[in-house]
Structure 1
Amino acid sequence: MRALYPGSFDPPHLGHLDLIRRAASACEQLVVGVARNHDKQAAHPIEQRVTWLTTLTADLPGVEVVAFSGATVTFAKERGLRVLIRGLRNHADFEAEQAMATVNRSHGCDTLFLMTDPLHAHVSSRLVRMVAAAGLPLAELVPAVVAADIARSVAK
């Protein structure tokens, strides 16, 4: 199976990494698509997010990290990918993702849902940004390289 795991990954956290590793083990090729959302101000430049994820997935065969903009389903189809991977932390995630999955399916892409590991179910990129802004430790939320880079940028 060849699949796309899309997201803003702003920043990538341990929940993202767990899903990438699990999806990669089930896929011949997994494209991690780092979305550029022109309607939202990103906390971290897209180049930084791509670099983080490329570093963090370097040991995973068949994983490619790329930036994209525009509709996820359009990007997937341009890459010849017909399967989207999405993580679910809770019931609220399911509600939102179910609607998107229906739209994506009508455009030729199926969605596979992976349940988030309970250890990471509370983690979101928004939570990471809030904890970082408060100057609190990030070690239990993000990989070490991400925590170090964020700590340096907050210290500036």
Structure 2
Amino acid sequence: MSTASHPGFQTGPSTAWTIELFQRDGAPPLRVSCRCLSHRSRPGENGEMLFLGLWELRNGGYIVARSLLDGDAPKATADKAENLETAMLLIEAATAALEKSAGMTFVPGDLSPTSFGQALQRLQSRSERRHSFMKLAGEALDDWQRLVGTEFDSTH
């Protein structure tokens, strides 16, 4: 699966079916026949690309492919969704988890000034990455909402 190299990259519904390989955190990759319904990406704090995409499976259902923001560097992950509503709920749950993690406190302990500074930079970077992903999720959910009730919504 490819992502664009410029901010705000977006694609709309595609009629072309392709075979895609989606990486998943803690699970084997998914190789599926699908078509892209929506894909958005934007650069993160350290130049990495954050992305969020919705793919329709040829045999029914959807794949939600996204950046996973655990740790210091984002990873790619994907989840299956039975319908468009479930796909939207997956993103809402991911953003809620990010909001919850934003409230975590930082206890400096016995860090040296250099280590303390590095820890603060990591926290700032994570915060900026969360903010970028939240904006991306809002844009993507707006795109997906427009698909409800159309030919790309398998629940109708």
TM-score tier by shorter-chain length is: under 0.3
TM-score normalized with structure 2 length: 0.25
Q: Which of the two has higher C-alpha Rg?
A: 2
Question: Which of 1 and 2 has higher RCO (CA within 8 Å, sep 6+)?
Answer: 1
More helix by share: 1
Structure with the higher fraction of residues in strand conformation: 2
TM-score (norm 1): 0.25
